[in-house]
Amino acid sequence: MKNSTIESFSGIRKAGSIASAALDEVTKIIKPGIKTNEIDKICFEFINDNGAYSAPLFYRGFPKSCCTSPNHIVCHGIPKDKVLNEGDIVNVDVTAIKDGWHGDTSRMFFVGDVSVKAKKLVSTTYESMNKAIKILKDGIHIGDIGHTIQKHVESQGFSVVRDFCGHGIGKIFHQLPNILHFGEPKSGERLKSGMVFTIEPMINEGEYGTKLLNDGWTAVTKDKKLSAQFEHTVGITDEGYEIFTLSKKGLDFPPYQT
């Protein structure tokens, strides 16, 4: 049986399209003055209205339905009563569970007009993820993914976060293998047709060091400079790969024309 039709792929495809469509909805409301809590509400309602559950909600005590990570927040920011201002960049990370299967994806958003530097960081992050996705096929090594990302990011003068990685995904939210976003070619495990995992590079404007805030979740850059991230859930097929979390509206990368 072709793996594009196996149960895991069809399940994750459905979950991924709900997560991705939730981000399409978020696109409509991002503007100066909105609160990250309002983003959370959209995600919660959209996912529920589509017969799915939000995986982050109550996951290891996480209190909300998505992660919102503006500016120097690297990942796992908690939506709250905080206003986004003109010039901010923000990552929104959504994971839906549909029929027991997970789909995990995140995108960056521009709040109004943003600096040239911020735009370059965001586009470099997106390019690095896409370059890594394009090499995916049965038989390559996990290290090839990290190497592809690291090479591109460092050529642009940015750095790859070491403290968080992509992950296998399926009926379980986070499982092996770990997908590091830096590394050596031909190192690590080989990819096999049927594997499903995320690629979710976190890229810093300055140094790659991070620290965890007292809430136990929010990771920030040590040097307080900007950080950006994109995430797709992907599967290895007999022919190459499938991306489960593409936007059906083409809203994969900002600025979004809506």
Q: Which two tokens stand for residue 125?
A: 């992050």
∠ CA 200-27-44, rounded to 5°: 80
Q: What is the distance between the alpha carbons of residues 118 and 6, in angstroms, rounded to a whole number?
A: 40
Contacts to ligand MF3 from residues 183-222, by CB under 6 A? 198, 200, 217
Q: Which does 62 bind (CB under 5 to 8 A by kind): Co ion, ligand MF3, none?
A: ligand MF3
Q: Which does 76 bind (CB under 5 to 8 A by kind): Co ion, ligand MF3, none?
A: ligand MF3
Residues that bind Co ion (CB under 5 A): 93, 104, 198, 231
Output the smallest distance, CB 233 to Co ion, in A: 8
Q: Does 104 bind ligand MF3 (CB under 6 A)?
A: yes
**Are 197 and 168 spatial neighbours (Cβ–Cβ below 8 Å)?**
yes
Q: What is the distance between the alpha carbons of residues 78 and 66, in angstroms, rounded to a whole number?
A: 8
**Are 212 and 161 spatial neighbours (Cβ–Cβ below 8 Å)?**
no
Output the smallest distance, CB 5 to ligand MF3, in A: 26
Q: Does 242 bind ligand MF3 (CB under 6 A)?
A: no
Q: What is the distance between the alpha carbons of residues 198 and 129, in angstroms, rounded to a whole number?
A: 10
Span near ligand MF3 by CB under 6 A; candidates 5-13, 54-62, 113-121, 201-209: 54-62
85: Cβ contacts below 8 Å, ≥ 6 apart: 32, 33, 111, 112
Question: Is the bond preceding 255 in cis, omega lying within 30 degrees of 0?
Answer: yes
Among 25, 38, 231, 242, binds ligand MF3 (CB under 6 A): 231
Among 13, 14, 76, 107, binds ligand MF3 (CB under 6 A): 76
Between 3 and 104, whose beta carbon lies closer to ligand MF3? 104
Binding site for ligand MF3 (CB under 6 A): 56, 59-60, 62, 67, 76, 93, 95, 104, 198, 200, 217, 231
